[in-house]
Amino acid sequence: MENNQNIWLESVPWIDSQNADIDQFLRAKNLRNDFNLYENLIEWRDRGVVVFKDVVPFELIEALESDLEYLIKNYMDFDLMAEVKAVIKPISEFSPFEIVESNVKFNSIHGISKAAVMLSLNRSISQFLACVFDAPPAVLQSLTFFKGSQQPIHIDYPYVRTQKKIAHLAASWIALEDIDLNSGPLIYYPGSHKIEISGFYDWGNGSIVMDADSRREPMDFSRYLEKRVALFGIEPEIFCPKKGDALIWHGNLMHAGSAVNDKNLTRKSYVTHYTSLDSYPDDFKVSDENKFVHQNSGYCFEYPWVINSKKLPSW
């Protein structure tokens, strides 16, 4: 299937369609008396981003911290992809020095950490995304950060695109500690999720996603997005949360990791990318009925490639 702009436009969730009527949606679901939900959905539709303060129990954050400590001490025993200085490979192939170096990033630790699964399926986040998709959200992948990423401005869907419906994509960013302004917090461009603002970037031959043989590079994409925000005069906002706060962003929202002004500071965060249940890729789950967690209207499937791998203490 070619990923062209029609594929995107035909797959948008209800809330991204023209004249999306939030009031009517909530009335039909009998949720109209939840004023916060109404306000949050308006914000999502108009800005592509919503912040939930103090929604993540500290016990869960501490359970993930313990798993991370255990993982770092015993990393040779685990099947997990990790990233150090833009190199992504199985964690066991890194040297102990690279692993303790605190800007390592773990990919999809929720495959082996129950604490991470529970964070991804946080109640406020899952229930909100169930409304956004009008379907249960399903965890696609996760990232665990220790330091600011300094990732240039980007949109996720050209890179996160295993979901069946390309426009069924959202992400959450959970603060695992109080975030310092000098640690390189997440920044985002409100309203940039609208197609009129973002446009579609052509990676070559009309493809809107990056492929192995794409003619364009991520930096070309960033330069394009910089031009779009300048054209529309959109200023970035900084997310400088307290431990336990969460931000949810739209799969077409422009965002970046801001500059790290103080290299000694950590910026511990846990990011999950979600799609909707019916858009979840078949080869990312096993047919065994018990190999998933269903909680707070969300789903998290065990990946076929990790079912036999060793799990972390919270499992």
Which residues of the chain form contacts with Fe ion (CB under 5 A)?
Answer: 156
Comparison of 222 and 279: residue with beta carbon closer to Fe ion: 222
CA dist 272 and 169 (Å) reads 11
The H or E element spanning position 274 is: strand 269-276
271 binds, among Fe ion, ligand AKG, none (CB under 5 to 8 A by kind): ligand AKG
- Nearest distance in Å: CB 197, ligand AKG: 18
- The per-residue b/e assignment along 151-184, b for 16 or more CB within 10 angstroms, e otherwise, is eebbbbbbebbebebbbbbbbbbbbbbebbebbb
SS3 144: strand
Site for ligand AKG in 198-257 (CB under 6 A): 255, 257
Query: Residue 82 is encoded by which pair of tokens?
Result: 């990790």
- The CB-nearest residue to Fe ion is 156
Angle between helices 35-47 and 123-133 (to 10 degrees): 60
245 binds, among Fe ion, ligand AKG, none (CB under 5 to 8 A by kind): none
- The CB-nearest residue to ligand AKG is 257
Site for ligand AKG in 165-194 (CB under 6 A): 171, 186
Query: Residue 68 is encoded by which pair of tokens?
Result: 């991370």
Amino acid making up residue 127: Q
SS3 93: helix
Site for ligand AKG in 253-312 (CB under 6 A): 255, 257, 269, 271
143 touches ligand AKG (CB under 6 A)? yes
| Of 10, 43, 45, 275, the residue nearest 160 (C-alpha) | 275
193 binds, among ligand AKG, Fe ion, none (CB under 5 to 8 A by kind): none
Comparison of 251 and 298: residue with beta carbon closer to ligand AKG: 251
Query: Residue 196 is encoded by which pair of tokens?
Result: 């009129």
- Nearest distance in Å: CB 224, ligand AKG: 17
Q: Which residues contact 282 (CB under 8 A, 6 or more apart)?
A: none
| Of 314, 273, 312, 242, the residue nearest 72 (C-alpha) | 312
Comparison of 136 and 257: residue with beta carbon closer to ligand AKG: 257
First to last CA, the chain: 37
In the sheet that 186-188 helps form, which strands lie side by side, from edge to edge? 237-239, 186-188, 255-257
Specify the stretch interacting with ligand AKG by CB under 6 A; choose among 23-31, 32-40, 84-92, 149-157. 149-157
Specify the stretch interacting with ligand AKG by CB under 6 A; choose among 96-104, 111-119, 143-151, 219-227. 143-151
- Nearest distance in Å: CB 92, Fe ion: 26
Comparison of 281 and 304: residue with beta carbon closer to ligand AKG: 281
Specify the stretch interacting with ligand AKG by CB under 6 A; choose among 86-94, 112-120, 145-153, 227-235. 145-153
Q: Which residues bind ligand AKG (CB under 6 A)?
A: 143, 145, 149, 151, 156, 171, 186, 255, 257, 269, 271
